[in-house]
């Protein structure tokens, strides 16, 4: 019943904001244009299409808002008016009542607001689909007087998300049954991955732990600043972190006016992404412009500042190595290696001809090398790659869906910062260096250092374990020899009995012949 009500609400919002008209109006067919006139009779759709789309996504809830956030980073795929409106979804979702936020904070932390904070700004500085943020100053303890940002979870989100996910699961099941590519694309597994990350995002303690991990990963780096977490002011509904000062990365004119090198900024964004993925296997998976600032303080000038750590991705060592080899082969235009890696990984059926896949990949990728981002139509690239994957039955890997989403965000961000950026040439040196570190002497030495403590613990046990092993082997050999000897004795006795019987029979037979001959010689026969 809940799913049905949610579906009815979705349909109502679509009709109320005229999203059906927005989609159909893009077609030039006369019949469709006539249909648009018919379905819009009696409806006032005076607001701009971008505003209507933004308001509809906001009304539908967090999942749809996140979809709009991803679309807002793809200005190459969206008309400017729609992209501008969707960009407001990054940090301008209508906030909930400040009094409600205060009640959540006091209930979660178990103290009055005045006991927790020296100052607290009741007007939220940012509001998103899952939570909103208030600036404050800490009271008490060694962190007294520190400027912080307090993130408060939006109430009533769980039922909405659960109902949307239930609808998505039903739709995924239906797609698998009726669509020829359903099983290959694994929509149910993709929805399951999305489900996991969304529910993690509803627990702000998980987000705080993610922030702490990312801060530790970049503690020695001059590429990325991550806010400090104040654990005594954190619960599953409240997340208190260091207040960061910077310019939103979407304000390119302000960054240029402040003297920020936009080309360097775009290159460092690519390096940050690949560092997170391949060095750490732990990456920020929600890197839209609303979650990124650029520092203009003298000590950290030009550095990225990461915010909102609710969605992060993790990769296994196998996935990291496989992806790195694919990227490097791709950057070197070694399409045979790309095809071979797909076959070896099991992403395509084993009977696939490597040469055919190589040719298809070459046709997809070769036209886009040595071109800046502004000359690349990602829509065309994705369409051709989809056609190729369908032809060769390439299986979608659900564990990489977040990575693909993040890569789209990074590429869209790079396009905004520096349209002349060559994504491939920027990423290639980093990946080659990383692969050398993994497979060279440096990588071997690092793995030895990691394993050395465990080896040191095991080393004193080696003599005892070796003695026990040899003793068991000797015992097993002795027991085995005894069994073989017993079997040999049994077989020898059996052979002796058979030989004795045969000799007796042969002796009897010869004796009979001799007696008959003797009797015949004596004249009895």
Average pLDDT of the chain, as a whole number: 76
pTM: 0.68
Q: Which residues are catalytic?
A: 286
Provide the pLDDT for residue 481: 60
376 appears as a binding residue in the annotation: no
Residue 450 marked ligand-binding: no
Asked if 189 and 398 count as a contact pair (C-beta separation under 8 A), the reply is yes
Cβ burial, residue 511 (10 Å; 0-12/13-18/19+): exposed
Is 312 assigned to a binding site?
no
Question: CA 345 to CA 342: how far, in whole Å?
Answer: 5
Report pLDDT digits (tens) over 239-286. Answer: 999 999 999 988 888 999 999 998 889 888 888 888 888 888 888 887
- Residues β-bridged to residue 397: none
The reply, when asked if residue 23 is annotated as ligand binding, is no
Q: Which of 67-76, 125-134, 239-248, 340-349 has the lowest mean pLDDT?
A: 67-76
Extract the tokens encoding 201.
């995002």
* Tokens at 257, concatenated: 């006016």
Quote the CA–CA distance of 123 and 144 in Å, as a whole number.
22
Q: What is the pLDDT of residue 513?
A: 56
* Highest mean pLDDT (candidates 65-74, 149-158, 160-169): 149-158
Share of residues in the chain with pLDDT > 90 (%): 18
Mean per-residue pLDDT, 47-58? 81
pLDDT in tens, 64-96: 776 776 666 555 556 777 777 877 776 667 888
Q: Please state, in angstroms and rounded to a whole number, the distance separating the CA atoms of residues 498 and 493.
A: 9
Q: Is 276 annotated in some ligand binding site?
A: no
Q: In terms of pLDDT, which residue wins out, 401 or 17?
A: 17
Segment 387-421, tens digit of pLDDT: 666 667 766 565 566 777 777 777 777 777 887 77
132 is in an annotated binding site: yes
334 or 438: which leads in pLDDT:
334
Is-contact 423 270, C-beta < 8 A? yes
**Residue 107 pLDDT > 80, yes or no?**
yes
Q: What is the pLDDT of residue 379?
A: 46
**pLDDT value for 381:** 59
Task: Compute the distance between CA of residue 413 and CA of residue 373 in angstroms, rounded to an integer.
Answer: 11
**What are the residues whose beta carbons fall under 8 Å from the beta carbon of 20, sequence distance 6 or more?**
14, 39
Interval 201-243: pLDDT, tens: 788 999 999 999 999 999 988 889 999 999 999 999 999 999 9
pLDDT surpassing 90 at residue 104 = yes
Most confident by average pLDDT, 53-57, 328-332, 343-347, 373-377: 53-57
């Amino acid at each position: 019943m809940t799913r049905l009500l949610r579906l009815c609400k979705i349909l109502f919002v679509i009709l109320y904001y005229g999203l059906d008209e927005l989609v159909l109006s893009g077609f030039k067919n006369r019949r469709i244009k006539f249909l648009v006139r018919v379905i819009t009779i009696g409806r006032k759709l005076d607001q701009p299409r971008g505003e209507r789309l933004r308001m509809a996504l906001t009304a539908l809830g967090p999942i749809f808002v996140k979809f709009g956030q991803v679309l807002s980073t793809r200005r190459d795929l969206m008309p400017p008016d729609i992209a501008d409106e969707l960009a407001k979804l990054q940090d301008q979702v209508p906030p909930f009542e400040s009094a409600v936020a205060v009640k959540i904070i006091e209930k979660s932390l178990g103290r009055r607001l005045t006991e927790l904070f020296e100052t607290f700004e009741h007007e939220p500085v940012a509001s998103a689909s899952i939570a909103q943020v208030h600036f404050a100053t800490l009271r008490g303890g060694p962190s007294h007087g520190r400027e912080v940002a307090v993130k408060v979870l939006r109430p009533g989100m769980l039922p909405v998300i659960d109902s949307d996910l239930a609808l998505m699961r039903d739709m995924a099941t239906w797609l698998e049954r009726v669509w020829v590519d359903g099983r290959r694309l694994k929509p149910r597994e993709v929805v399951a991955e999305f489900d996991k990350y969304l529910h993690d995002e509803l627990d702000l303690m998980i987000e705080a732990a993610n922030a702490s991990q990312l801060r530790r990963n970049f503690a020695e780096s001059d590429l990325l600043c991550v806010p400090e977490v104040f654990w005594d002011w954190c619960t599953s509904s409240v997340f208190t972190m260091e207040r960061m000062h910077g310019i939103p990365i979407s304000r390119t004119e302000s960054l240029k006016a402040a003297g920020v090198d936009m080309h360097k900024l775009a290159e460092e964004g690519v390096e940050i992404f690949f560092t997170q993925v391949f060095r750490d296997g732990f990456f920020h998976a929600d890197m839209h412009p609303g979650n990124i600032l650029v520092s203009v303080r003298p000590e950290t000038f030009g550095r990225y500042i990461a915010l909102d750590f609710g969605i992060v991705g993790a990769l296994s060592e196998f996935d990291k190595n496989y992806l790195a080899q694919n990227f490097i082969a791709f950057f070197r235009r070694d399409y045979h290696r790309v095809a071979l890696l797909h076959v070896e990984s099991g992403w395509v059926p084993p009977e696939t001809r490597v040469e055919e896949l190589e040719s298809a990949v070459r046709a997809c990728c070769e036209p886009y090398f040595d071109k800046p981002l502004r000359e690349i139509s990602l829509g065309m690239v994705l369409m051709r790659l989809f056609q190729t994957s369908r032809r060769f039955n390439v299986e979608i890997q659900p564990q990489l869906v977040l990575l693909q989403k993040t890569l789209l965000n990074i590429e869209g961000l790079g396009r905004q910062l520096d349209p002349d950026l060559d994504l491939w040439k920027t990423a290639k040196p980093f990946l080659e260096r990383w692969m050398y570190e993994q497979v060279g002497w440096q990588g071997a030495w690092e793995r030895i250092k990691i394993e050395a403590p465990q080896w040191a613990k095991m080393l004193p046990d080696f003599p005892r374990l070796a003695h026990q092993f040899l003793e068991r082997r000797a015992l097993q050999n002795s027991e085995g020899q005894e069994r073989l000897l017993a079997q040999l004795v049994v077989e020898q006795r059996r052979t002796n009995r058979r030989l004795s019987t045969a000799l007796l029979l042969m002796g009897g037979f010869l004796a009979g012949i001799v007696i008959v001959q003797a009797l015949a010689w004596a004249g009895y026969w």
